[in-house]
Amino acid sequence: MQFHLNGFKPGNYQIPDAARKAYPTPPIEDLPTEVDVLIVGTGPAGLTMARQMSEFGDISTCIVDMADGPLLFGRADGISCRTIEIMEAFNSSEMVEKETYKLMQNTFWEPDAENPQNIKRTHKITDARLGMSEFTHGVVNQARLHELLLDGMANAVTNLRPHYSRELVDLMIDESLTQDLDAHPITATFKRVDDAGNDKIETVKARFAVGTDGGRSRVRKALGITLEGDSADKAWGVMDILLNTDFPDIRVKSFIQSKDHGAVMTIPREGGYLIRFYVELDQIEKDTRAADLQLTEHDIIAKAQKIFHPYTLDVKEVAWWSKYSVGQRLANRFDNRAVDSSDEIIPRAFVAGDACHTHSPKGGWGLNTSLPDTFNLGWKMAAVLQGKSKASLLATYSTERRKVANQLINADKELSILVATRPVAGGASQDAQVDTAKIEAFMKRQSGFVSGTSIEYFPSYICTGQGNQHLATGYKIGQRFHSVKVTRVADGAHQHLGHLVKADGRWRIFVFGGAQDPTQTCSDTYQLINFLANDPTSPVRKYTQENSDLDAIIDTYAIFQQQDLSMHDLHDFLWPAKGKYGLRDYEKVFHTQDDNDVYDLRGIDRNSGCIVIVRPDQHIAAIMPTAAHAKLSEFFDRFMIRSVAQT
């Protein structure tokens, strides 16, 4: 898709440039006085949390922001493979894929050895992240991603919409109520900041609160959470521009090092014309902010023009620009509990995204770490609020996501040193020069982290069974469930397995059949399915209410090596009767493809097969032998709650 030819215009890219308009300012409505979940901040973390909560009609949610309306100009630009996989869970990946500018190559430029005042390309390589997912790492306006999340919220069963023009004045927690799940221990006070609001004060009481209000988070400060790490001492300029240039790699992601004027990183943006520039500026004094520098977009353009010599940059329009400083900080905790609290202590307020980890934007990690933060938290909070899981499940958010944030901080420190001509905190000597070979090696080494596909959670009761990893070596416990195409038995349609794991709060059990015929009642697979369907200790029977569909809590799929199967020859649990009419679901059984065999691609034991349990956030929770019926029940018994109607 191409757009922005005659100037940058925010809004829906499906509408032609000439007709596209910016998102209108939404009307102001009074805040609710009492909710289950209060979210402060409408960045990617906040909107992802709200989008997840919007799926549950029995959970009341309120999301609030100081801005007067939706974001118009993107701050983050990169959309990782993993982020698009998450958008698929919200049924929004198709539009992201269509509009995203896919990053296929990287180029590296250094001073020309024969004429050092000029830059010269050293090499061009294929992007290291290709093939790590069915999706491709790319670039799209952050505001457009926000719009897709907002549309999903508005069209969900709850019709959830943000409340804008509210400043958080205070947030207090009544500690005497925090361990009572039915209580509303959080009191948040907001002030209207729109002209018509007249500084009106509104108060919201909540059972849980989530602070996704950025690096200067007021929620974080109210909770007494501190950011720890290095202060910034390097400034960069960033701008999205429309330009004419004779630089040959303007539509390729490029790392450019000059001899005397610093470095630039360029990223082609969506629409075919827009370009993101990261321009190295000067060192700044300790505890000084980049915003304090007396520089304009014209100064940043002039600096870039010097770095690009002998190529010319004729900038026609600056769609957006900013200055930032490189500093890496990590919150000492991600919820309101004291450090080293027991998991049995129920957290009631959380921070996510930039509110708990800050870093430079060059690695594309901000949005792509913030959004998965709340994708991790959302299903857990919903399960606790709905009485499906024990409250101790909420403590795993901090454990799992703080590990990822710590990895992010360390990676960003390394990248910031590599791309800076002059020293940064803990960096190189004064006369150091950027080594593009080291940048290339870093990007290859960190490709799994950058793409989000190798993020792995610590072993725990929801990431267990490592002793069975050999049964499916390509499905790493703790990492996301890597999708593969299979063929549906009922109609021969091709289906990505990973796309079956939607953001609806349900667990998935994927049964990979062994060499035995699954239609034979003596086979291990048939015995497993029969256990799930009929045994009183089956987690499906135990945790599904009697008036609900069998897949309402735990959704089971089967993949077989045998390709001559008929649905009606299989256990009827695999084609269950559902809904008020008892209609049969024929979309739960698949077989392998000859040219794309999931058993080969994911190292699944062909003889024995296995069970792969996938969490609601698409991460692999456990791998078990098909005969491990008791262990399967024990896994869910550790954290799930049996409904009163079934006891």
Phi-psi region of 77 (alpha: psi -120 to 50; beta: other; left: phi over 0): alpha
Q: Which amino acid is at 275?
A: I
Query: So what's the architecture of 234-325+420-451 in CATH?
Result: 2-Layer Sandwich (3.30)
pLDDT for residue 117 is more than 90:
yes
Helix (H) or strand (E) segment spanning residue 140: none
What does R_g of the chain's alpha carbons equal in angstroms? 26
Helix extents (H) in 453-589:
524-534, 539-543
Q: CA–CA separation, 522 vs 525, rounded Å?
A: 9
Domain at 466-646, CATH homologous superfamily: Phenol hydroxylase, C-terminal dimerisation domain (3.40.30.20)
First to last CA, the chain: 56
**Location of structure tokens 């919007």:** 54
Helix extents (H) in 386-518:
395-419, 436-445, 447-451
Tell me the pLDDT tens digit for each residue of 18-69. 998 877 888 999 999 999 999 999 999 999 999 999 999 999 999 999 999 9
294 Cβ contact partners less than 8 Å away, ≥ 6 residues apart: none
**pLDDT for the residue 107:** 94
Domain at 34-100+140-229+329-335+343-409, CATH homologous superfamily: FAD/NAD(P)-binding domain (3.50.50.60)
Is 299 within 8 Å of 217 (Cβ atoms)? no
Q: CA–CA separation, 540 vs 646, rounded Å?
A: 12
Peptide bond into 162 cis (omega under 30): no
Give the orientation angle of helix 436-445 with respect to helix 395-419, to 10 degrees.
160
Domain ranges of the chain: 34-100+140-229+329-335+343-409, 234-325+420-451, 466-646
Q: Which amino acid is at 86?
A: I
* Structure-token pair, residue 140: 């799209």
Is 471 within 8 Å of 601 (Cβ atoms)? no
Share of the chain above pLDDT 70, in %: 94
Is 171 within 8 Å of 187 (Cβ atoms)? yes
User: For the stretch 541-563, what's the b/e string if a residue is b when 16 or more beta carbons lie within 10 angstroms of its beta carbon?
Assistant: bbbbeeeeebbbbbbbbbbbbee
Strand partners, 139: 78, 101
**pLDDT for the residue 290:** 57
**pLDDT for the residue 459:** 96
* Structure-token pair, residue 89: 């869970």
Looking at 375-379, 384-388, 446-450, which range is the least confident one? 446-450
Q: CA–CA separation, 208 vs 346, rounded Å?
A: 10
Is 418 within 8 Å of 439 (Cβ atoms)? yes
Average pLDDT over residues 145-167: 96
**pLDDT for the residue 580:** 95
Q: What does the DSSP assignment read for 166-212?
A: EEEEEEEE-GGGTT-TTS--EEEEEEE-SGGGTT-EEEEEEEEEEE-
420 pLDDT tier (thresholds 50, 70, 90): low
User: Quick one: DSSP state of residue 301?
Assistant: H
pLDDT for residue 490 is more than 80:
yes
431 pLDDT tier (thresholds 50, 70, 90): very low
How far, in Å, are 21, 116, 602, 610 from residue 188 at the CA level?
A: 35, 59, 48, 48
Query: 553 versus 451: which is more confidently predicted?
Result: 553
Q: CA–CA separation, 21 vs 494, rounded Å?
A: 38
Short-list 297, 265, 290, CA closest to 279 = 265
- Around 421, how many Cα atoms within 13 Å sit in the side-chain half-sphere? 20
* Structure-token pair, residue 389: 């899981």
* Structure-token pair, residue 558: 């089967």
Is 275 within 8 Å of 269 (Cβ atoms)? yes
Is 392 strand, coil or helix?
A: helix
Looking at 196-210, 449-463, 580-594, which range is the least confident one? 449-463
Question: Dihedral of CA 275/280/282/284: which sign?
Answer: positive
Average pLDDT over residues 416-423: 64
423 pLDDT tier (thresholds 50, 70, 90): very low
* Structure-token pair, residue 58: 């029995």
* Structure-token pair, residue 524: 């291990």
* Structure-token pair, residue 94: 């198709």
Q: CA–CA separation, 122 vs 124, rounded Å?
A: 7
Question: Dihedral of CA 575/577/583/588: which sign?
Answer: negative
**pLDDT for the residue 429:** 40
Is 165 within 8 Å of 68 (Cβ atoms)? yes
Is 197 strand, coil or helix?
A: helix
User: Quick one: DSSP state of residue 2?
Assistant: B
428 pLDDT tier (thresholds 50, 70, 90): very low
Question: Dihedral of CA 50/1/128/264: which sign?
Answer: negative
Q: CA–CA separation, 596 vs 486, rounded Å?
A: 8
Please provide the average confidence, as pLDDT, over all residues in the chain.
91
Query: 416 versus 285: which is more confidently predicted?
Result: 416
Tell me the pLDDT tens digit for each residue of 282-332. 765 555 565 667 789 999 999 999 999 999 999 999 999 988 876 789 999
Pairing verdict, β 349-351 and 201-211: parallel
Share of the chain above pLDDT 90, in %: 74
Is 162 strand, coil or helix?
A: coil
pTM of the predicted protein model: 0.93
**pLDDT for the residue 150:** 96
449 burial (CB, 10 Å; 0-12 / 13-18 / 19+) is buried
**pLDDT for the residue 611:** 98
Tell me the pLDDT tens digit for each residue of 568-577. 999 999 999 9
